[in-house]
Structure 1
Amino acid sequence: MIERHGEGRDLRSLDVPRVGSLLETSDVWEPYRLLDPAGTVVEPVAVYLKDLQGIGRPATTQRSYGMDLLRWFRFLWAVEVPWDQATRDEARDFSRWIQISDKPNRASAPATAVPNPVTGKAGPGRKYAPATRGHSESVLRGFYDFHRDVGSGPMVNPFPLVRCGSRAHAHHNPMDLHRNERSGLYRPRPVQRAPRSIPDEKFNEVFAQLGSNRDRALVAFWVSTGARASELLGAHYGDADPGQQLITVIRKGTRAIQQLPASPDAFVWLRLYQAQMHGLVPTRVDDPLWWTLRRPFTALSYHAAYRMFSRANAALGANWSLHDLRHTAAYRMARDPNMSLTDVQWVLGHAHLSTTQLYLNPLTEDVIAQALAHHARVAAGTVTATTIPKDGPSPLSYRPEALNILFGEGTA
């Protein structure tokens, strides 16, 4: 019998079955439904997802939140605690469980994320990433905040903020900016990762692996406009304007309509793709711009585009993502001396200039190359240590009297 109280719960032996599901419905009014093990809709989640839609969150956000909620409800079903009776004990144990347990179907993955030899990007390990855990904590705290406010959930949120007696950013670097707000008590410390860019020569190799004009057009647009993958995939036939070299997208966060300049070759590949599909798919201004290449023709989904780019990566043994194309575009624009940083900010749709400034930092591969070149110069004896006196000790040696003090063999 599972112990229902946190103090006596044995997480070592806890089995969390993969029961229930998040169902995609194709219904614009209810894009996703969370189902319990019996196949019944979980009403508290259904109400919450409707509220997300009401405040303007797209279906992709509802799916992301739904997956976090499914993971939480699976844990509650395993420990036999109703969702509205969950306390801080359950939130604490869930935070421990998601931190230590392996992800489903990851038994063959390495215990820790290992950098890819081609890209340097760490691949997925067996554990949940800090970003996944942090997103989950935020979603669950918001879920319980919503039900507390409408009076359908517990009066005390199981996922509390940091205690009033302590500061949320007590140990932050004073040189780093942060918002003056309290963070979640069980929220993991965020890991700052530098955006990854695809080097030009590697990008050419990946581009050569693409198997259709549609795929070449998509990648050319992504790497020249800096648009997010979902933004470009949501474009309609009338959104492409070859005459002005512009394509219109709807921004992910603000839902603002914005025209983005694209490279000439992107429109060349687009024209070749459209000629190939002429007469096979509708071409009204509000019809999708991107379609599957086989019958029955349907609008190209994100997951299909992701698999397309993954296949091109696999041929090179690489693991770049669609979002790395956005990073590549950002780095290229930020390093153009004739393009101001505020222009780059506008193209990328960043709300804060500080986000765009990340692309002024040196690229990881460039730093590694410079450091390796430095070591080669040291080995060849071509590095001059101008700060070390000719008759002074080697920079890698210690004075004998200092070693005597260290090991207790005398005094200086």
Structure 2
Amino acid sequence: MARTALTSNIKYLSSAEFRDLIVALKTADPSSKFHKRNIAAFLIAEYCGLRASELGLIRISDYDPNEKVLRCRRLKGSVSNVLKIIDPEVLAAMEQHYFEYLKKPDHSQYLFASKSGKPLDRRTLDVLMKFYCSFTSVSPDKHHFHTLKHTRAMQMIATPGVNLRDVQWWLGHKYIANTMIYLNYSVEAQAELYKKLENNLM
């Protein structure tokens, strides 16, 4: 019963909705001094499947621009990991913010920091999510930053050849049961499973 309730409450963005969000990130407020930071923050959070609080923990030293890898500090019992950024759009946004931020003499140790130098917090990121989503057709019930983590999970689950263990490792889930809720909810993943079973019957 608990699992059914949990899966029915998962909110994530479709591919079209996520593209709309990216467009909004790039065009809604280009004059803001936090423009590049916000684009990078949202793309990195979705790509790595990070909670808002985990995004705020990222330090400048956690990113290796030579290897293109980022250390993800996971919370709430999850397992920290190091992910290579292979998506060109995500990498470009990350490096534009990273190198520009390093040039600031008063930069914080945190890569995604507020104007006071403190880590961006969940409340601020939720406000930003609502702001950018207001320029899209994304329904209000998805205007929460945590939706990005669910979006990444659902994207991976629906990717042919990617299995639950892959998703578990990527998201830093300590237990596979935490990953399985996405499989239970993914129509695409269920269709892929039936396809595999049908192929074995031939």
Q: Same fold (TM over 0.5)?
A: yes
Give the aligned partner of residue 344 of structure 1.
167
**Which structure shows the bigger proportion of residues in helix conformation?**
2
**How much has 1:265 moved relative to structure 2?**
2.3
TM-score using structure 2 length: 0.74
Which of 182, 200, 213 is matched with 2:36 structurally? 213
TM-score using structure 1 length: 0.38
**How much has 1:298 moved relative to structure 2?**
4.1
The letter for the 2-side match of 1:269 is A
Give the aligned partner of residue 196 of structure 1.
11
The percentage of aligned residue pairs carrying the same residue is: 22
Give the aligned partner of residue 133 of structure 2.
313
Q: Deviations over 1:47-83 (max 9, x none)?
A: xxxxxxxxxxxxxxxxxxxxxxxxxxxxxxxxxxxxx
- Summarize the Cα distance change of 1:255–1:352 in structure 2 as closer, same or farther, 3 Å threshold: closer
1:127-142 equivalence runs, <5 A: none
The letter for the 1-side match of 2:17 is K
Give the aligned partner of residue 265 of structure 1.
89
Which of 335, 340, 348 is matched with 2:158 structurally? 335
Greater RCO between the two (CA within 8 Å, min separation 6)? 2
1:350-365 equivalence runs, <5 A: 350-363=173-186
- Summarize the Cα distance change of 1:199–1:255 in structure 2 as closer, same or farther, 3 Å threshold: closer
Distance 1:231 1:347 in 2: 14
Give the aligned partner of residue 249 of structure 1.
72
Distance 1:300 1:276 in 2: 18
**How much has 1:251 moved relative to structure 2?**
1.5
- Indicate conservation of the 8 Å contact 1:239/1:247, yes or no: yes
Distance 1:255 1:192 in 2: 18
- Summarize the Cα distance change of 1:281–1:204 in structure 2 as closer, same or farther, 3 Å threshold: farther
**How much has 1:206 moved relative to structure 2?**
1.3
**How much has 1:260 moved relative to structure 2?**
2.6
**How much has 1:197 moved relative to structure 2?**
2.0
Give the aligned partner of residue 323 of structure 1.
146
Greater radius of gyration (CA) = 1
**How much has 1:324 moved relative to structure 2?**
1.1
- Summarize the Cα distance change of 1:272–1:207 in structure 2 as closer, same or farther, 3 Å threshold: same
- Summarize the Cα distance change of 1:243–1:264 in structure 2 as closer, same or farther, 3 Å threshold: farther
- Indicate conservation of the 8 Å contact 1:242/1:267, yes or no: no
SS of the aligned residue for 1:209 comes to helix
SS of the aligned residue for 1:198 comes to coil
SS of the aligned residue for 1:358 comes to helix
- Indicate conservation of the 8 Å contact 1:245/1:264, yes or no: no
SS of the aligned residue for 2:91 comes to helix
Give the aligned partner of residue 290 of structure 1.
112
| Divergent runs of 4+, >6 A | none
**How much has 1:348 moved relative to structure 2?**
1.2
**How much has 1:275 moved relative to structure 2?**
4.0
Superposed CA RMSD:
2.9
